[in-house]
């Protein structure tokens, strides 16, 4: 994929990947832009335009080879190389991430979980040992973490992020419901669970009465 790719196309990439993975798992080998569009609720011409933007894949009249297109999109998403993940916070969200069924399959490997709770330290969360939060610096001297998951309370999130940056971590997946200051060479992607619940509420409030 070369040249300028719009944010809108980038945001659709995971959806493509997910649908193609499901199609592949269901044994589907070829798919038309019509059928893929129907599944993804996009028009066939939008599908063709997107996929063209990924690097010109389709053959007019033949549709797309599911496994090739999935692999290609996975490459664009950076999924072809494994990511070493550490999780800060062994609470519900940290546990949910550590145990999320598809992450390991996509190469996101949880290496360690950190928490301040004495009772959690030493236990196993999603196959990784819970280490004391005070050991974070020591850990990062000896291990590389490609991604840190921030699953600590909002009031502790900024301090935790600063410690991660000093320790060399440059990518953070943040679940703490707060905006964080971070240097420009650190990538932070926020998960705002509220946003999606509010979209549900919006759709309920504006439900057509039929």
Binding site for a second copy (CB under 8 A): 10-11, 13-15, 17-18, 22, 76-79, 81, 83, 91-93, 95-97, 99-103, 106, 108, 146-147, 153-154, 170-171, 173, 177, 179, 185, 187, 189, 191-207, 210
Closest CB to a second copy among residues 28, 135: 28
Helical segments of 56-135, H only: 66-76, 92-99, 101-105
d(CA 180, CA 157): 8
Name the minimum Å distance from CB 100 to a second copy.
6
Closest CB to a second copy among residues 36, 93: 93
Cβ–Cβ under 8 Å, residues 159 and 180: no
User: Would you give the end-to-end CA distance of the chain in angstroms?
Assistant: 45
Name the minimum Å distance from CB 102 to a second copy.
6
Name the minimum Å distance from CB 65 to a second copy.
21
d(CA 176, CA 10): 24
Closest CB to a second copy among residues 9, 162: 9
Name the minimum Å distance from CB 121 to a second copy.
18
d(CA 114, CA 121): 8
The distance from CA 103 to its chain's CA centroid, rounded to whole angstroms, is 8
Name the minimum Å distance from CB 81 to a second copy.
8
For residue 186 the two structure tokens come to 């650190």
Closest CB to a second copy among residues 13, 116: 13
Closest CB to a second copy among residues 60, 102: 102
Rg of the chain over all Cα atoms, to the nearest angstrom: 20
Do the strands 128-132 and 124-125 form a parallel or antiparallel pair, or are they unpaired?
antiparallel
d(CA 184, CA 170): 10
The dihedral region occupied by 43, where left means phi > 0, alpha psi between -120 and 50, and beta the remainder, is beta
Closest CB to a second copy among residues 65, 190: 190
Name the minimum Å distance from CB 133 to a second copy.
19
């Amino acid at each position: 994929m070369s040249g300028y790719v719009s944010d809108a196309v980038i945001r659709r990439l995971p959806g493509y990947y997910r649908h193609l993975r499901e199609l592949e798992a269901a044994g589907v080998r070829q798919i038309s832009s019509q059928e893929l569009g129907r599944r993804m609720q996009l028009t066939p011409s939008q599908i063709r335009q997107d996929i063209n933007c990924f690097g010109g894949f389709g053959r007019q009249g033949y549709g797309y080879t599911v496994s090739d297109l999935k692999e290609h999109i996975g490459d664009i998403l950076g999924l072809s190389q494994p990511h070493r993940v550490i999780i800060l916070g062994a609470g519900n969200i940290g546990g949910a991430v550590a145990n999320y069924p598809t992450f390991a399959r996509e190469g996101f490997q949880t290496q360690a979980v950190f928490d301040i709770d004495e009772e959690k330290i030493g236990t196993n969360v999603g196959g990784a040992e819970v280490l004391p939060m005070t050991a974070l610096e020591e850990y990062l001297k000896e291990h590389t973490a490609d991604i840190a998951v921030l699953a600590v309370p909002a009031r502790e999130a900024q301090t935790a992020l600063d410690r991660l940056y000093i320790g060399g971590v440059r990518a953070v997946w943040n679940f703490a419901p707060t905006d964080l200051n971070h240097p420009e060479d650190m990538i932070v992607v926020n998960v705002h669970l509220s946003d999606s619940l509010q979209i549900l509420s919006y759709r309920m409030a504006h439900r057509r009465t039929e």
